[in-house]
Amino acid sequence: MNPRNNHELRPHPHRALAAKLTPHIHGFPTRMTAVIGAILNYDYGVREPDGGKLTYIHITKSGDVVSLCTGCTQPLVYIGPVQTLEQDIRTLTKRAKLTQTEIEEFERVYRLRVKDWRTK
């Protein structure tokens, strides 16, 4: 076995959470699936129209949500106002019936993967 390929054998650390949170199963549009995938660093297979994939989410000082996008013609993609994202996440976690432990795990990952420039 090639030691460099060991990463392929490790399961994604948030696989169970990602499966439970799959936004399109809970009635959300494809864009929300891409956003949750970016937050969890989980590939749901959703791509932007030009083939790119959302990666890191940023909240600007003015409260806009944008994402870096690998493989996109524009490296920064506008998502929408932060209030909408926050409301959608609250609704999604309720619809997915996350346990308190799962909610805490999602919040921990969110704090690590979403850069909120409003607090700077």
Within a domain: 70: yes
**Res. 21: pLDDT tops 90:** yes
Within a domain: 7: no
Q: How far is CA 4 from CA 13, 23, 42, 43, in A?
A: 19, 33, 21, 21
Q: Which amino acid is located at 102 in the chain?
A: E
pLDDT confidence of residue 119? 75
Within a domain: 57: yes
Within a domain: 53: yes
Mean pLDDT, rounded, for 78-104: 96
Within a domain: 56: yes
* pLDDT confidence tier of residue 4, bands split at 50, 70 and 90: very low
pLDDT confidence of residue 11? 60
Report pLDDT digits (tens) over 35-69.
999 999 999 999 998 999 999 999 999 999 999 99
73: domain range?
13-119
pLDDT confidence of residue 120? 58
Q: What is the maximum alpha-carbon separation in the chain?
A: 50
Within a domain: 82: yes
The whole-model pTM stands at 0.86
Give the chain's domain count: 1
Within a domain: 3: no
Cβ-based neighbours of 46, under 8 Å, separated by 6 or more: 30, 33, 34, 37, 53, 54
Residues of the chain with pLDDT > 90, as a percent, come to: 78
Within a domain: 6: no
